[in-house]
Amino acid sequence: MRITADRERCEGHGLCADVAPEVYELDDDAIVVLLHETVPSALERKAEAGARVCPVAALRVEQSVGA
Amino acid sequence: MPDSDVRLPEVAPVSVPSSDIHLFSAAVLLDPYPSYAQLREQAAVVHLSANDVYALTRYDVVRDALGDWETFSSAAGIGFNPMVNEALQGTSLASDPPQHTALRAALTENLSPRALRGLKGQIDAKADALVAGLVASGSFDAIDSIARVFPLEIVADLIGFTGEVRGHMLAWGKAANQVIGPLNQRTAESFPIAGELYAWCSSVTRDDLAEGSIGRGIFDAEERGAIPPGSAGPIIHQYLAAGVENTVSAIGNIIALFAAHPDQLALVRDDVSLVPAAFNEVLRFWAPINVWGRQTTKDVEVDGVPIPAGARVAVCLGAGNRDPRHYENPDEFLVERNPVDHLSLGYGIHGCAGQGLARLEAHAVIDALARRVERLVVGAEVRVPHNATRSIDSLPVLEVVPA
């Protein structure tokens, strides 16, 4: 599973990092940074939950195909 | 008193679930939840003949519509009468990309959590001093003494309002939200007051606003061409209309819900890390704004119900928040639930732009209450119907049991 972050749209509310600090971090400008290029399977549920709470829909989950 | 607006009911196609519930009647505005439950049980989409809107009633369809601006557009306005939708043109509220993108960026530049992070200490200290003073006084009106004064002062200082305009902010903010409703008596009575705000916002200049304020930052953005000419005024309008009335509602709701549920306050007192979760639950349980408008750009089918292109859609945030398909025991107020995905602040490109500031203010109030108060003994809350913002008008605190 991969997450894509729209850094233009991110406003730094930080809810993703609250929900899944192992997957999301805010940089010094309070813009989201993804900690994993491909989300480890053990973190997939958390990653999804973090993407879901983004209030401005800046995070998108892409399920890997055929993985 | 019944609403004075008389509209000819439109006959919906046979296949569309329909109801005669009137979303903006005084009874529904005061206590919307029984009507929402009825609509939700009927269908995910219900045509309301009294309002000529398609109501989205269940969590999933509300959230999906908020995330799909291309189908559920804001460009024709988010209100329920043509006058307000006309007046809102030129704001990020009533636009979609690409116009929306620059307006939203200008609106949030100084309002994002990143921009506000230096303010937390100051806001916490203000809330603490306010609550400490009220605990010492022992009896007060929670709405006048906390819910109204606290956000008013913070928003006024941030935007840079000085002098006599500060005295108009509450009434202007209330009216600006009231006119989002249909053309009923409340809307008619509020248009002149909302008009004073429109007039002020169209004549206000950079130098009327305090130095270093967010309000001035907007005019600077206009000057350097980051936003279209003439859009600074409408943005200032949005700050005031959204930043006061809805936060007043949320903070009043915090106090009322903790007074009514001392066991829930005790949970937060035992574990202050529950403060953000508690605010999410307050917002879910009593949304400041229950209904928001959209317009379909094309024929669309939602959960099997056809909605034609160009239809007015009532996105029922407050109904979705109580959907048992999404939240267990949705009619219980439980601070440990932490419903981070509640619908009260919208979602997606139009999600509440001021939510970072709202969180700072609300968390500060909850934190101060949890540290200083064991129990609040309150009298009867008074509510006055409002077309957009559901809030408590007066809540006497008769006794404070200090922590």
Q: How far apart are the first and last CA of chain A?
A: 9
User: What pLDDT does residue B91 have?
Assistant: 86
Q: Mean pLDDT for chain B?
A: 94
Cβ–Cβ below 8 Å for A14 and B113: yes
Asked if pLDDT for residue B12 goes beyond 70, the answer is no
The enclosing H or E element of B112 equals: none
H helix runs in B120-231, sequence order: 120-137, 142, 149-159, 165-178, 185-203, 214-223
The enclosing H or E element of B255 equals: helix B245-260
Nearest C-alpha of chain B: how many angstroms from A39?
Answer: 22
Q: Look-up: residue for tokens 């009507």?
A: B35
Q: Are strands B396-402 and B373-378 parallel, antiparallel or unpaired?
A: antiparallel
- The Cα B312–Cα B143 span in angstroms is 34
Within 10 Å of residue B70's Cβ, how many Cβ atoms?
9
Q: Mean pLDDT for chain A?
A: 92
Q: What is the mean pLDDT of residues B230-238?
A: 87
Interface with A, mutate which of B66, B110, B111, B114 (most A CBs under 10 A): B114
For chain B, which residues lie within 8 Å of any Cβ of chain A, measuring from their own Cβ? 67, 108, 112-114, 117, 276, 340-341, 345-349, 351-353, 355-356
Please list every residue in chain B whose beta carbon sits closer than 8 Å to the beta carbon of residue A55.
345-347, 351-352, 355
Domain that holds residue A56: 2-62
State which amino acid sits at residue B3: D
- The share of chain B scoring above pLDDT 70, in percent, equals 97
- The Cα B27–Cα B8 span in angstroms is 20
Q: In this structure, are residues B127 and B150 in contact, taking their beta carbons and an 8 Å threshold?
A: yes
Does A56 fall in a domain? Answer: yes
- B242 — pLDDT class (breaks 50, 70, 90): confident
Q: In this structure, are residues B55 and B82 in contact, taking their beta carbons and an 8 Å threshold?
A: no
Taking only the tens place, the pLDDT of each residue in B60-109 is 999 999 999 999 999 999 999 999 999 888 889 999 999 999 889 888 88
Query: Sign of the CA dihedral B160, B164, B170, B174?
Result: negative
Please list every residue in chain B whose beta carbon sits closer than 8 Å to the beta carbon of residue A7.
none
Please list every residue in chain A whose beta carbon sits closer than 8 Å to the beta carbon of residue B345.
55
Tell me the DSSP string of B206-244.
GGGS-TT-HHHHHHHHHHTTSS-TT-HHHHHHHHHHHHT
Q: In this structure, are residues B253 and B392 in contact, taking their beta carbons and an 8 Å threshold?
A: yes
With respect to CATH, is domain B18-402 assigned 3.40.50.300?
Answer: no
A33 in contact with chain B, both atoms CB, cutoff 8 A: no
Asked if pLDDT for residue B11 goes beyond 70, the answer is no
Tell me the DSSP string of B83-108.
HHHHHTTTSSTT--TTHHHHHHHHHH
Helix (H, G, I), strand (E, B) or coil at B68: coil
User: What pLDDT does residue B296 have?
Assistant: 98
- What tokens appear for B170 in the block? 């509450």
Q: What are the DSSP E strand ranges found in B308-402? A: 312-316, 373-378, 382-383, 392-394, 396-402
User: What pLDDT does residue B10 have?
Assistant: 60
CATH number of the domain where residue A32 is located: 3.30.70.20
Question: Closest Cα to residue B131, out of B361, B322, B290?
Answer: B361
Cis peptide bond prior to B98, omega within 30° of 0: yes
Taking only the tens place, the pLDDT of each residue in B339-353 is 999 999 999 999 999
User: What pLDDT does residue B377 have?
Assistant: 97
Taking only the tens place, the pLDDT of each residue in B25-54 is 999 999 999 999 999 999 999 999 999 999
Task: Give the lowest-confidence range in B8-12, B64-68, B176-180, B359-363.
Answer: B8-12
A57 in contact with chain B, both atoms CB, cutoff 8 A: yes
Q: What is the mean pLDDT of residues A52-67?
A: 84
- B14 — pLDDT class (breaks 50, 70, 90): low
Q: What is the mean pLDDT of residues B235-245?
A: 88
Query: Sign of the CA dihedral B16, B17, B23, B25?
Result: positive
- The Cα B74–Cα B296 span in angstroms is 9
- The Cα B88–Cα B94 span in angstroms is 6
Q: What is the ipTM of this complex?
A: 0.88
- The Cα B378–Cα B152 span in angstroms is 23
Q: In this structure, are residues B58 and B38 in contact, taking their beta carbons and an 8 Å threshold?
A: no
Taking only the tens place, the pLDDT of each residue in B356-392 is 999 999 999 999 999 999 999 999 999 999 999 999 9
- What tokens appear for B235 in the block? 């943005």
Query: 3-state DSSP helix/strand/coil percent for chain A, to nearest 5?
Result: 25, 20, 55
Q: In this structure, are residues B319 and B36 in contact, taking their beta carbons and an 8 Å threshold?
A: yes
User: What pLDDT does residue B162 have?
Assistant: 87
Within 10 Å of residue B203's Cβ, how many Cβ atoms?
9
- For residue A66, list its beta bridge partners: none
Please list every residue in chain B whose beta carbon sits closer than 8 Å to the beta carbon of residue A14.
113
Does A67 fall in a domain? Answer: no
Question: Closest Cα to residue A47, out of B235, B332, B47, A38?
Answer: A38
Q: Are strands B53-56 and B312-316 parallel, antiparallel or unpaired?
A: parallel
Taking only the tens place, the pLDDT of each residue in B126-168 is 999 999 999 999 999 999 999 999 999 999 999 899 888 899 9
Taking only the tens place, the pLDDT of each residue in A31-55 is 999 999 899 999 999 999 999 999 9
Nearest C-alpha of chain B: how many angstroms from A40?
Answer: 23
- The Cα B331–Cα B341 span in angstroms is 16
| Cα angle for residues B31, B56, B4 (degrees, 5° grid) | 50
Please list every residue in chain B whose beta carbon sits closer than 8 Å to the beta carbon of residue A52.
341
- For residue A25, list its beta bridge partners: A33
Per-domain residue ranges of chain B: 18-402
Nearest C-alpha of chain B: how many angstroms from A50?
Answer: 10
Q: At what angle do helices B165-178 and B185-203 cross, to 10 degrees?
A: 130
Distance of CA B371 to the CA centre of its chain: 27
> Residue B140: is it exposed, middle or buried by C-beta count within 10 angstroms (0-12/13-18/19+)?
middle
Domain count across chain A: 1
